[in-house]
Structures are given as structure tokens and as C-alpha cells.
Structure 1
Amino acid sequence: MKTTKKLDSFLLTTSLITVGTIVISLTMFPEAGKAGANYLFNLLTAIFGTPVLLAVFGAVIFLVLLAFSKYGNIKLGEGTPDYSTFSWVAMMICAGLGSATVYWAFAEWAYYFNAPPLGVDAGTTAAYEISTAYNLFHWGVSAWSTYCIAALPVAYHFHVRKNPGLSLSAVCSAVRGKKESTPLWRSTCRVIDTIFIFTCFGGLSITLGVSVPMVAEILASIMGIQPSFGMNLSIILLISAVFSLSSYVGISKGMARISSMNTYLAIGFCLAVFLIGPTLYITKSTVNGLGTMFQNFIKMSLWTDPVDNGGFPEGWTIFYWLYWITYTPFVGLFVTKVSKGRTIRAVISNMLVSGSAGCFFFFGIIGNFSQHANITNAVDVAGLVAAGQGNPAIVQLLNTLPMSTIFIILFAAISILFLATTLDSAAFTMAATVTPGLKAGEDPSPMHRLFWCILLAAVPLAMLFINAPLNTIKTCAIVTSIPLTFILFYMVYGFINWLKTDYGLQTAEQIMQESDIIPKDDVAIPAATVATES
């Protein structure tokens, strides 16, 4: 791949100034920073919480209806798919595994157990069961519907409409149509790109903010020392070194292979825990959790806790939906690249089923292994999490396994590689956004990608330095994803109009024929029907 070193100075300068201001403010005025973040978190979730719940639930319904409609037959691009069905499904399952899952899989159920939703009493059998169900719910169909409804406009824009560019501003410009480009619209596109840049910061701040201290705790337990901010910084530098080396090797030979290898390691780790750990309990609790989740899916999707106002919907469900939104630009690009030659129906079913299955697999095994340890008093996971000691709880859980040192080292390696691949994909996407005129076959400069890697780590490192609580870290997703939500609404609006314009006059059979799903001789096209151009 060729590289280019041209930069968008406006976006670069804006990012540097904003990130620098945040980092300096957090380090110089930590208590004020925590208070301000807490205020924003409560304010924004109160204002936008209910609309977000309705929007995500609406996305699930819309995607199901779209998949079963005639528009589900539309093929995204000509020719045969670039990947076999097995590889395509496997990639979507693996996409469900990432750097954030390694912390939440162990600890998330305990947060719900200590402060259960839906009026369940804390510390009870019902609390165990609802915590598993909510764990699967937050990482399941609704999450992937959020990804999917954002990815389809990008894939349709690129493969069907043949519009250039994969940035959000490029898709929005295509939705706007062939209207003359005005200074106002050009400024709007700059705002869209800027929002995208800071959405990346929001999502990565949470991922690094919870994952890096966990890795530090694990490595400290191996070396017999206490974790520190210096160790957090060293881990970031190590991740940057892994990323930098892979960048020079190349994406296909470097980070892609690391990502693939790490996914196999993660799956192997889970299978080993499943076989060595409490296999029967993991199986029964996962199945029971899935049953509870699907039985209460509508209630969980729209529960606002209007009477007690205990804060669970705002602190978890609404937060998670906005957290997923911060990652939609990455997922949109990923789905567009791997789904050429697939129908809209196939993309929807694969994302909602296979993507959810990847998360169910990881959280079902690891989460219920952790929960069983709490039930048998092997590790007081719930008590440690309540005391803000989630990372020590993970180390203690790993120490309950046979040959625990091997498991701890393997888990540390998996966590570091997950962080490296996550940071690399974010840095590559941001570098590409800030590199104008990037052509097919060109990559941003590796040094430019390394710059973004370091800059992305600056905000979460500042939060780790001031020992920011979880709600402060969560605020990053809330603040950055809300403006992105309005952009996504505009993209979905344009996508629906494209579907009506391009295929509104065609029957399901005609769309299937055009997509080569059925032979041309098997359907007669009425002469009076004139299909609009794609």
C-alpha cells in the first residue's frame, strides 16, 4: 500500500487544542472535572434517555421489517461475495469480541446484582438471574441493531449508489444530492468530520479507561508489585509499540493477522474456562439468561423506571446504547468492506444473529464463571466490585483456575492484543479522515497513525491519573455520541429515500432477479414497468 502524508490541518489543530484542554483541565482541576462530568452525565441522560430507548427499539423493529420486505433482496455490489459464508459469519462473530468485553464479561453482572433493575431485590436468586439476562441484553440484538442501522446507509452508499468516500460527511453529502455545494454545507461537513473525530475519543476513552487498569492489575499480580499510573503509561506505550510495528509491516500482514490470532486465543481461553470451570452452571445460567432476556425484551428495551428513578436505565441501558453509537463509524466501515455481494437481508440477519452470538458466547462463559465463584464464596466478586475493586476481583477469579499462572499470562496477552487492534483501527480511521484526498490503494502515513494512537490515549490516561470514577469515564460516550446520533438519523433518512427511489417501483421478484438471486428466465418483467436507475 502507498502512503500519503498530506494532512487536514483544521481537524488536526482542532483535535490537538481540544484534547490538550481536556487533559490539562482534568490534571489541574481533578475534583472539578469529576463534578462537571457527573453533572453532564445526569443532565444528558435525563434529557435524551427516553428518546434513545425509543430509537434503539425502533431500530430493531425497522431492521426486522426491512429484512422481510422486498428491499431485503437488494444486493450490495455486483459479483460474488469476497468472503465465503463461513468466513463472513465468523468475522461477524469475532467482531462481537473486543477489548472492552474482557473487563465487562467478568464484572458487569456484579454491578446489576448489587443494584438490580426492574424492582428486583439485591443479593437474591432473582438478582443473579436478572443480572445474567441484562448482561446478555446489553451486548445482544439491540446493540447490533444500532450497529446495523448505521452500517447499511454506508454500505448502500458505497456499493449500490457507487458514491465515492466512506466518511460520514461523504454519506451525508450523497444524501443531500446534487445540490450546489455552498460554504454553509462545506462548513457542515467539517463539523460532521469533527464530531466523528471526537466520537472516537469518547468510545476509546471508555475502552482504555476500563481495560488498561485491568491489564495493569494482572501484570502487577504476575510480577508481585502494586499497579500504578506508571504501569498504565507503560502498557499504553507497549500497545503503541505493537501497533507501530504492525503498521510498518502492513495491515494485511500485520494487524489483521494479530487480530485473527488473538480472536482464536480468546475463543480458546473461553472454551478452556468452560471445560475446566463449572460447565453445568455456565450452560444452565446462560440458557436461563437468554430465556429471561427474550421473555422480557420489550420491557427491558423501554424500561425508564419512572416511579423510583433509581438511575439504572440512565446509568446502564441508555449509556450502553450511546456507547455503541460511538463505534458505529468503525462498524459501518467494517461491514461495508466485508459485505460486498451480500443482500441487505443477509447483512441484517448475520449482524443481529452472528454478532450477538459472539457476545453471548463470551459473556455467557466468562460472566457465569465469575458469578459461580461468587455463589460458592470462592471470590467475593460482588463485594469487590461494590468497593471499586473490580480489577483485583478478576485476578482472584483467574487464580481459582488450575494452572492459574498460564491463564493469567494468556489473559494478559489477549487483553493487550485486543487493545492494540482496537487502538490501531481507531487510529487508522482517524488518520484517514484527517488525510484529504486519500485514494484507493493508499494508506495514511504510519507515523500519522502513531500520532493518533498516542493522542487517543491522552484523555483516558488523564482520567486514570486523577483516578476518575466509572461515571466520569462513561460521560465521554454520552457527550460525544449524542451529536453523532443526529447525523445517523439523517443518514438513515437518506437511506430510506434511496430505497424508495431506486427500488420503490420494482416487485420483490424483479429485485431478486436484478440481484441474481433467481435466474432471469424465471420471472417475467412487465413491459410497462420502468425501474429507476440505481
Structure 2
Amino acid sequence: MWNEYLKRESVFLLSAGIILFFIAVGIISPDLLESVSQAIHAGILDYFSWLYLISAFFFLIFALGIALSRYGTIKLGYDAERPQYSFFGWIAMLFAAGMGIGLIFWGVSEPLLHFLMPPPFMTSSTPEAASFAMRYVFFHWGIHPWAIYTIVSLSIAYFSFRRGMPALISSCFYPVLGERIYGMPGKLVDVLAVFATVFGTATSLGFGALQIHAGFTHLYGLSSAISVTIGIIVIATALFMASAILGVEKGVQILSKINIIIATILLLFILSLGSTPYILNIFTSTLGGYINNVIDLSLQSYPFEGYGWSRDWTIFYWAWWISWSPFVGLFIARISRGRTIREFVLTVLSVPTLFTFIWFSVFGGSALYLELERGVDLTSVAGEDVSLALFVFLEQYPVSGLLSLIVILLLIVFFVTSADSATVVLGSLTSGGSMIVPMYKKVIWGLSLSTVAIVLLLTGGLDALQMMAITAAFPFMIVMVILCYTLWVGLSQEKDRIEQ
């Protein structure tokens, strides 16, 4: 009986044990955790930064190659199956997947930071630095992240809907491992997916809590102590745990849709009250520069000058997207049943990317406009506290207090819905792919996400969040490279069904 339980719940027990060990070390000896994490992080960056760049570029080329090949006509489901959702409903949910804490946190701050602190070979705070800043923002948040998500989501969707296997990362390894996916090799793959998801999600929750705290401090003079940030995480945890335990999925869906509507209204408000022609020129010019330089950007680490800058930004982002890919990939897969591979890949790569470009053009472009044309000093704010820059930016517009409250509300709802969804995904990954997750697993994973975020904030703040994202993503990056091979093998076995 006990042996049967251990075998059935081995993924849950092993992954929960690893996370619990991490939390225990962080509580008992935070200095030890910080020094070990820094050593692992430094080793990965020193020896494998180039691998992150090549892998992300390879994922993009592979995804496009699959979509445009003869395999593009294969359906993610049975041949006669129709899409589960309407095209416009599907696109709306892709927007939901693409929007989140990250865009709000970095929408104003990242362009300003690149403008203020570009690589050493470029003079800071110049028009050239502004152009560089916007181009790299498009690069970091553009087609590459969605290519990373596409590899995971396409693999899960194909092997789950087409082959009838559980919705697990390990199922995608069937062409290589065969029945061993149900043994220890497959379980280790799922443990790595859980490990990446926990730390990727905890990073985003940490960002969200920092910015919510910064907003309340800026608006109401709340104490800036780290204990307040922890209190915000505790309150948000109670909210999303109640949602996960009560199973109010419809309520979460409604909140998500409302959040997207509010975010879009906020975007249009800033666009209409700012210098609209200036912003639109930034969008078109940056888009052109991004398209013309996408290959150079994809493989550029500035080894002679600016290597540290590339590691701090590009490598961090690629690792963050990889660590998020099991979570986002599973979500995208589940809403894409019945689509052809070509439709799936091309839509996932294009629609959310375009919205993201517009978002950064409006918020980042407006911030640079205020800095360069109006003399508003936003860069010093971003350089001192990246989570505060958005609220100082909003002060330049009418009803700034209301706008700041709306942003805080957006952050809270994104925090709750993201954590709630991640709790369900983690429960599913540790329950054999089933969406019927036992209550105790929801509770354990929900508390684990928030506790990991708190431990990271206490051991190093923003730097610790970024450092752990890179560390957690490394083993899963290797898993993703193998995923490309297993997906290709699986698709090649369908040659008799492919339209010639």
C-alpha cells in the first residue's frame, strides 16, 4: 500500500521535497543560500550564457520551420476535430497569457534603464541610447519568448490531443523513452518542469509584490520596510488560495478578462493624452530596427564590451521565459485543441507579440518622450527604484492618483490570477496530468509559491529573484532542446496522414 503510494506520488513528493529543502535552508541559513545560489548562478553565466542565446534562437527557427513545413497541416487533435474555442475567443485568451505582472513592472522602467545605463560602448542618455533601449525592449519581449512557449505548448498539445497521452512534459518524450516515461526518467522530467515553474512564478510574484508596495508607499507614505512587502504577499496568498480552494475558475476568468479590458483602456488613455504621433513613430521605427537586426540581436552577447550588460538583461529574460514555459505552455496547449500546427504557431508568435510591442511603445515611448522632450527626470527614479518609476510616470498625466490605484488593482488581480493558475498547473503536473487536483496539493503548492518568493526577497531582493530564475531555467532549457527532437520524431511518424 505504502509502496504503491510512493510510486504514484513520486513526482509530487520529490519536487515538494526539493522546494521544502530550499525554503528550509533560506529560513535557517539565508547567507548560505545566497552564497550557494550566487556560485551556481555565476558558473552558469560564465560558461553557458552563449547556450541561452543559441537555444532561444533555435527554438524560434524550429517553431517557424515546423509551421511552414508539410507538418503544418496536422491538427492538434483528431483529423475531423474542430477548434474548441472561436478564433476571436482564442486570441483573447492568448492576450490573457501575454499580459501580466511583467509588462506592468517593466513597461516604463526597462526602456529608461537601457537609456540611462546602456552597454559601455554607447553614450548614455542620448537619442542613440533611446533608440537602442526601445529596440532591445522589443527584442526581450518580442517573438523569442513566444517561440520558447510555443515549443512546450506545441509538444504538450500534440502528444496530449493527437496521441491521447497525459498532459505532462514527460509524455512528449515517448518517442525517445517509450514506456519509460511512466518510470523514473519520465518522472525526473516532470520534476524539472515543476522546479522551473515554481521559481519562474515566484520571480513574477516577487516583482508584483515589490511594485504594489512601491505604489502604496508613493501614494500613501507606507513604510518601505521589506516586512510590508512580505505582508502584501501574505494577503495576496490568502486571496488566491481562497480562489484555488473554492474552485472559482469562472470568477478568475472574469477577473482576467476585466483586467485586460482595464489595461487596454489605460494604454489608450496614455496614448491619447501623450504625444501620439511621437509614440507611433517610435513604434514603426523600432519595429523596423527590430526586424532588420533580429538575427544579430539573437546571437549578440557583446563579448568585448558590454558582456555584463547582456548577462544582466538578455540572459535573465531568456531564463525567465524558459522557467515560465511549463506553466504558460500548458495553458496555451489547453486552449488550442483543434487548431492546425501552422495556425497555432503563427498566431501564438504574432498576436501577443504585436500587443506587447504596442504596450512598450506607449509606456516606454511616452517615458522617453517626457525625458527627452519635456525634461522630466524619470531615469534617476528608475535607476534608484525600478518598481517606482511607473507611478512617477503616471504623475505627469491627469487624475494620476486614480491611474496609480488602477495600476495597483491590475497588479493585485494579475498576482492572484497568475498564482491561482500556477497552483492548478503545479497540482496537475504532480497528479499525472489530471485537472482534478486534490485540495492538499493546491494548498501545498500555493503556500510554496509565496514562501519561495518571500525567501528570495529576504536573501537578496530583486537580484535574488533574477538570479534564481536563471538557475532554475538551466536544466529545463536542456529538456526543451530534447523536446524539439522528440516532437520532430513524433511528427515524422504521421507522414501517411499529411497532405502532400
TM-score over 0.5 for the pair: yes
2: CA distance, partners of 1:113 / 1:145: 27
Name the structure 2 match of 1:70: 70
| SS of equivalent to 1:311 | helix
2: CA distance, partners of 1:192 / 1:83: 30
1: CA distance, partners of 2:8 / 2:420: 20
* Cα shift at 1:300: 0.5
**Is residue 408 of structure 2 the alignment partner of residue 412 of structure 1?**
yes
Distance 1:465 1:306, change over 3 A: closer
Q: What amino acid is aligned across from residue 56 of structure 1 in structure 2? A: A
Name the structure 1 match of 2:310: 313
Distance 1:138 1:99, change over 3 A: same
Name which of 441, 451, 457 aligns with 2:450.
457
2: CA distance, partners of 1:263 / 1:134: 25
**Is residue 390 of structure 2 the alignment partner of residue 394 of structure 1?**
yes
Distance 1:424 1:168, change over 3 A: same
2: CA distance, partners of 1:402 / 1:14: 53
Equivalent pairs counted in the alignment come to: 494
2: CA distance, partners of 1:424 / 1:436: 19
Deviations 1:189-210 (A, max 9, x none): 2322221221112202321222
2: CA distance, partners of 1:28 / 1:249: 33
Q: What amino acid is aligned across from residue 493 of structure 1 in structure 2? A: Y
Q: What amino acid is aligned across from residue 276 of structure 1 in structure 2? A: L
218-227 vs 129-138, greater mean Cα deviation: 218-227
2: CA distance, partners of 1:161 / 1:207: 33
Name the structure 2 match of 1:166: 167
Given that residues 172 and 487 in structure 2 are in contact (C-alpha distance below 8 angstroms), is that contact kept between their aligned partners in structure 1? no
Name which of 461, 477, 482 aligns with 1:485.
477
* Cα shift at 1:393: 2.2
Given that residues 7 and 434 in structure 1 are in contact (C-alpha distance below 8 angstroms), is that contact kept between their aligned partners in structure 2? no
2: CA distance, partners of 1:122 / 1:34: 32
Name which of 421, 433, 444 aligns with 2:437.
444
Q: What amino acid is aligned across from residue 508 of structure 1 in structure 2? A: E
Q: What amino acid is aligned across from residue 77 of structure 1 in structure 2? A: G
TM-score (norm. length: structure 2): 0.91
| SS of equivalent to 2:64 | helix
Distance 1:366 1:455, change over 3 A: same
For structure 1, which runs of at least 5 residues remain unmatched after alignment? 510-534
* Cα shift at 1:141: 0.8
Distance 1:361 1:250, change over 3 A: farther
Distance 1:379 1:286, change over 3 A: same
Name which of 489, 508, 519 aligns with 2:499.
508
| SS of equivalent to 1:391 | coil
* Cα shift at 1:87: 1.6
**Percent identity over paired residues:** 25
Given that residues 381 and 390 in structure 1 are in contact (C-alpha distance below 8 angstroms), is that contact kept between their aligned partners in structure 2? no
Given that residues 19 and 458 in structure 1 are in contact (C-alpha distance below 8 angstroms), is that contact kept between their aligned partners in structure 2? no
* Cα shift at 1:350: 0.3
TM-score (norm. length: structure 1): 0.86
Given that residues 7 and 436 in structure 1 are in contact (C-alpha distance below 8 angstroms), is that contact kept between their aligned partners in structure 2? no
Name the structure 1 match of 2:355: 358
Q: What amino acid is aligned across from residue 45 of structure 2 in structure 1? A: T
Deviations 1:132-155 (A, max 9, x none): 110011111111111112221111
1: CA distance, partners of 2:104 / 2:433: 37
Name the structure 2 match of 1:328: 325
2: CA distance, partners of 1:191 / 1:341: 30
**Is residue 137 of structure 2 the alignment partner of residue 135 of structure 1?**
yes
Distance 1:425 1:272, change over 3 A: same
1: CA distance, partners of 2:406 / 2:374: 25
Q: What amino acid is aligned across from residue 482 of structure 2 in structure 1? A: Y
Q: What amino acid is aligned across from residue 170 of structure 1 in structure 2? A: S
2: CA distance, partners of 1:254 / 1:493: 39
Q: What amino acid is aligned across from residue 90 of structure 2 in structure 1? A: W
The structure whose residues are more often helix, as a share, is 2
Name the structure 2 match of 1:532: none
User: What RMSD, in angstroms, separates the aligned Cα atoms of the two structures?
Assistant: 2.5
Q: What amino acid is aligned across from residue 86 of structure 1 in structure 2? A: F
Name the structure 2 match of 1:220: 217
Q: What amino acid is aligned across from residue 166 of structure 1 in structure 2? A: A
Name the structure 1 match of 2:189: 192
Name the structure 1 match of 2:274: 277
* Cα shift at 1:89: 1.9
Q: What amino acid is aligned across from residue 452 of structure 1 in structure 2? A: W
Name the structure 2 match of 1:51: 51
Distance 1:112 1:29, change over 3 A: farther
| SS of equivalent to 1:81 | coil
2: CA distance, partners of 1:277 / 1:486: 44
For structure 2, which runs of at least 5 residues remain unmatched after alignment? none
| SS of equivalent to 2:494 | helix
1: CA distance, partners of 2:255 / 2:6: 28
After TM superposition, the structure 1 = structure 2 runs for residues 223-372 of structure 1, keeping only pairs within 5 Å, are: 223-308=220-305, 310-372=307-369
2: CA distance, partners of 1:310 / 1:54: 16
Distance 1:67 1:194, change over 3 A: closer
| SS of equivalent to 1:444 | coil
* Cα shift at 1:392: 2.6
Distance 1:274 1:303, change over 3 A: same
| SS of equivalent to 2:108 | helix
Q: What amino acid is aligned across from residue 297 of structure 2 in structure 1? A: M
| SS of equivalent to 1:284 | helix
2: CA distance, partners of 1:176 / 1:167: 15
1: CA distance, partners of 2:12 / 2:493: 38
Q: What amino acid is aligned across from residue 235 of structure 1 in structure 2? A: I
2: CA distance, partners of 1:434 / 1:54: 31
Given that residues 153 and 333 in structure 2 are in contact (C-alpha distance below 8 angstroms), is that contact kept between their aligned partners in structure 1? yes
Q: What amino acid is aligned across from residue 400 of structure 2 in structure 1? A: S
Given that residues 73 and 341 in structure 2 are in contact (C-alpha distance below 8 angstroms), is that contact kept between their aligned partners in structure 1? yes
Distance 1:19 1:58, change over 3 A: closer
2: CA distance, partners of 1:295 / 1:20: 47
| SS of equivalent to 1:296 | helix
Q: What amino acid is aligned across from residue 470 of structure 1 in structure 2? A: L
Q: What amino acid is aligned across from residue 482 of structure 1 in structure 2? A: F
Distance 1:382 1:26, change over 3 A: farther
Distance 1:507 1:170, change over 3 A: closer
Distance 1:8 1:456, change over 3 A: farther
Q: What amino acid is aligned across from residue 41 of structure 2 in structure 1? A: F
367-376 vs 213-222, greater mean Cα deviation: 367-376
2: CA distance, partners of 1:437 / 1:33: 32
Given that residues 71 and 498 in structure 2 are in contact (C-alpha distance below 8 angstroms), is that contact kept between their aligned partners in structure 1? no
Q: What amino acid is aligned across from residue 37 of structure 2 in structure 1? A: A
* Cα shift at 1:82: 1.4
* Cα shift at 1:415: 0.4
**Is residue 427 of structure 2 the alignment partner of residue 426 of structure 1?**
no
* Cα shift at 1:124: 1.4
Given that residues 431 and 444 in structure 1 are in contact (C-alpha distance below 8 angstroms), is that contact kept between their aligned partners in structure 2? yes
